A and B are shown apart, each in its own frame.
Chain A
Amino acid sequence: MLKRPHFIALGLVALLALIILNLPHQAASHIKLAIGGLFLPLFGLSKSSQQLARQAGDAVTTRAELLRQNEQLRRTNQVLQLLASQADATLQENNRLRDLLNWQRQSPWNDRLRLASVIARDPANWWQIVQIDLGSRDGMKTDLPVLGPTGELVGRVSSVSLTRSEVMLVGDANCRISARIEKNGQTGIIIGGASTWDHSLVTLSYLSGVGNVKPGQAVVTSGMGIFPGGIRVGQLAEASHMTEQGFAEVTVKLWADPGVLDEVWVLLQ
């Protein structure tokens, strides 16, 4: 049944696969970038078709629907005006307190944040990776922190091409983050997803003890490693337990649900 050409093909493909798998990391990354360039027209096409579909949808909206939306927007506007006036008062109080404590008036990150759209997700189910539409031409570099819409930690930039970047999410086992339980100051390392069902659960490990750790306590970045300290990560989902290695471990529910990310902030250096 098996003939000589079959074995020749098997040998050639196996040899090629082995050569590619054993390429140096940098060479493999360059090849990935080069091959990834082939998908650029499709990404562009996808973006423009989404815009076209949105425009077409706008064009065929009925008058009744427009009136309903108008009414809804009017109500939302009133609520927002109320919230804005409350926010003004809060901001004034906040500024006053900052002045009193001699803190910086504004967050140091305000001018370093770049908004990016999530354009693709990893086709393989065993990685927690997304692609964003900013690349090296937009100032992207590896290991930059990536934040969710309201400033919570989402992951880090793991590789960069000219127009796109790959973001390794907090739930990926290779995205290790030094984090701290805000209440008691215990520091540990987030070592990846705690569940293959719910990607918003991660494991915080290497904690020194189980005491004083309660569900609901906030977890932030510790400031050790590549991330600035104090970025919100999530909250403890359950009480901690000891591992066989003598460390305490606890499950953390991330603030940012990785499954519903459409836009993210990248914190530039």
Chain B
Amino acid sequence: MNWLKSIIILLAAFVAVFLEAVLDGPRDFLGAQIDLLPAIIVYASLSSDLVTVSLVAVLGGLWLDTLSANPLGISILPLFAIGFLIYPRRGLIVGDQFYPRFVLGLAASALVPLLTLLVLLSMHRTPLLGWGTLWQLFAMSLGGGLLTPICFWLFDALNNALSYLPVAESSFRPDREIRRGRN
């Protein structure tokens, strides 16, 4: 298990939640705050192990709910559901291309708020909902979808900068060297 990668992902989730709380730009411009956690969980599911996926879902969900009026723990299950859907199928997903990353980010950014709202409503909470919510979901999905490939690029760059690169093994083996000549 690559602990450095896991720590980078968790730190990014922590900073992402903080930025969502303090940056008003997207809210003022689009009318909705874009959630970065779905993009991070997509990255964790495609390029990390199950422990990291679970940790991002649990800690990211708790951090988000702490700075929000959400009941504590409500964001954990929607985030983990996305990870749980992607992680076992990651061998089938071409995760190094822009388009699959965008589509996965788009779907995750749409599903996470929808599932969270579903859990909220099933707990008889009264979130502010209306026709504008559809626009907010659209903006969150599109924004999350576009930010997912950027997240991948950033994480890969960070990981390459901070990790040891694997030593490339040469295909040369002295015992299988073809010696030419008469002797």
Binding site for B on A (CB under 8 A): 1-3, 5-6, 9-10, 12-14, 16-17, 19-21, 23, 28, 31-32, 35-36, 38-39, 42-43, 46, 119-129, 131, 158, 166, 168, 171-174, 192-193, 195-197, 259
Contact = CB atoms under 8 A, between A and B. Distances in A.
A42 B84 contact: no
A205 B20 CA distance: 33
A128 B33 CA distance: 12
A123 B64 contact: yes
A158 B70 CA distance: 13
Contacts of B63: 35, 38-39
Given A121-B22, A127-B68, A172-B128, 13 more contacts: A1-B88, A10-B80, A17-B61, A19-B73, A21-B72, A32-B65, A36-B66, A42-B15, A42-B18, A123-B68, A124-B69, A192-B128, A196-B132
B20 A123 contact: yes
B117 interface: yes
Contact of A46 (B22, B76, B80): B22
A44 to B, nearest CB: 12
Q: Number of contact residues on B: which range applies?
A: 35 or more
Interface of B: 14-15, 17-18, 20-22, 24, 27-28, 31-33, 35, 50-51, 53-54, 57-58, 61-74, 76-77, 80, 84, 87-89, 113, 116-117, 120, 123, 126-133, 135-136, 140
A21 B54 CA distance: 17
12 contacts: A16-B58, A20-B62, A21-B71, A39-B21, A39-B67, A123-B17, A123-B20, A124-B70, A125-B32, A131-B21, A192-B126, A193-B130
